[in-house]
Structure 1
Amino acid sequence: MKFVLKKFVSLLCIYVSIFLLLLVPFYFSGFKGIPPLNLTNLLHPFSINYVDFNTKRKIFVLPLLLDKYSYSMTLLFVSFIIAIICATFLNYLFEISSSRIRKFIRSLLDVFESVPEVMLVMLLQIGIASIFMATGYLVADIVVFGEERTYLLPIICLSIVPTIYLFRMMVLETENQRIQPYVEFAISKGFSKTYILFRHMFPNIIINLLNYSRSIFLFMLSNLIIIEILFNIQGYMNAIRNYYFFTFDICLIWFFLLVTPFYIINTVFLFIASKWSGGEVID
């Protein structure tokens, strides 16, 4: 109960910090046309609306944001799950490989880490465009227009860098676990590498990785912004480029929706890690 209360107070402090930070540009900005501060709208968030300049229709903002939110979070969490699965599989292959193959994988990993994600995405887009020009078959949409949605290529692109990052972390954690006494004891009992890795080492590796969940999520959010821009996706992160976003109440709701689930997930991960390891939660 004490832990929950502490985290709840911490979340409230985050809300207050966001509120105060958003006040700065809205009170000191010299831009014209920014709507006045209206906190009463926060009591009825579903009634917040704007008038589309083209159609002259009244559009309610929160349902629109929630629709974009569900799409962007689907891309994010599916790519995160894929990254975990791929990193785990690559770590397994790395552990059962010879020293020469391990050295080659490390060199290949260094090459991929040195390539900017924007270049990786553009290379994939160019590759799919080349396949389409040669065969007439479009493997996946390389760009969308308006409210169209694509899943395959954005998820693949969004999972590449996290996979490399998680794989690197898993390799380091596996090396740290390999020198532990329980691993030496398991080897002396004649257990196979696969059994030792998944039965004894993998749970401890996951526990240590959970402590990095915050940085992983922040890293993936920054990648999501790049993906939405490169694919012209009208997603949640891309909503900040729309003119109707520049009101205090909408900005506040946007940040609250973004922060709250990630804070809760990160708290749950840290709590699980602390319980499994028998220690205290690492903030």
Structure 2
Amino acid sequence: MRIPVKKVSHRIIVRFNFSFTNQVDLQKPSHIDTKQARKFFTDKQNSWGVYQFIKLEDLEQQHLKDDCFTVRCDIIVFGAARVADIAVPAPPAAAFMPPPPDWPQHFRALQQGGQGADVRFLVETKTFAVHRSVLAARSLVFSTELYGTMKEGAANTAIMEIDDMRADVFDNLLHFIYTDSLLPETTSTTELAQHLLVAADRYGMERLKLICEDKLCRHISLNMVGTTLVLAEQHHCKRLKHACLEFIMTQKKLDVVMATDGFQHLAKSCLFVLFQLIAKLGEDN
């Protein structure tokens, strides 16, 4: 009965150096020892060689003698390689894309569910239960109002009224505070973006203010340009103000703009801006 024997390949580590016999410096032990060690396999799975040993013209000029040359090969054998000495390349890792952050969903659920809420806001006829620490962390104004004017023990029963804000605007403000994003209706309604910009400026939320300003810059219309210009002036939105003035100049429909309620509001409350507009019209003409 014949017992099959598995053929095992053996590995040895070798340093080698090829040189011509007249290259004495390359044949010194100190030079050969510095060469990188190579691994050889008896199963012929791997082999090494030199693709470009020497240029033909250099060979003819420097090393040919009677149309012959002699190559010397110095070899140092270190013996069988240990497993730890054998570098096995790791398989390429599959591309991994981590899922998007899920904390906004958790924080929004926390705000909507009201678990642990310790402050209540009354806006119009709607009551919002919120977490004082979250609002304070996101807004210095909220931090001052909630921690500066309220006592610790009265937090759970406190109801703070906001008289000059719409309930849907405050809901959008809370959504941004808890999730750092806007509700879908905010991105589709210019009027709501105007109100939210006012709320962001009131509570010192500069990032939200810039987002609203950018949206308004990209959605200027003849009907809304007057109120938007007033808004830009009152809340120090230089980019939005410039966009509104340029819009009026390029549309060349000042009569249509002047007929809107927003322009009448501009004329009553922001005379300086009106003078700037007149000056620009004069420069254009």
Asked if Structure 1 and Structure 2 have the same fold, meaning a TM-score greater than 0.5 normalized by the shorter chain, the answer is no
Query: TM-score band, normalised by the shorter chain?
Result: under 0.3
More contact order relative to length (CA 8 Å, sep ≥ 6): 1
> Which structure shows the higher strand fraction?
2
The TM-score, its normalising length taken from structure 2, stands at: 0.19
The TM-score, its normalising length taken from structure 1, stands at: 0.19
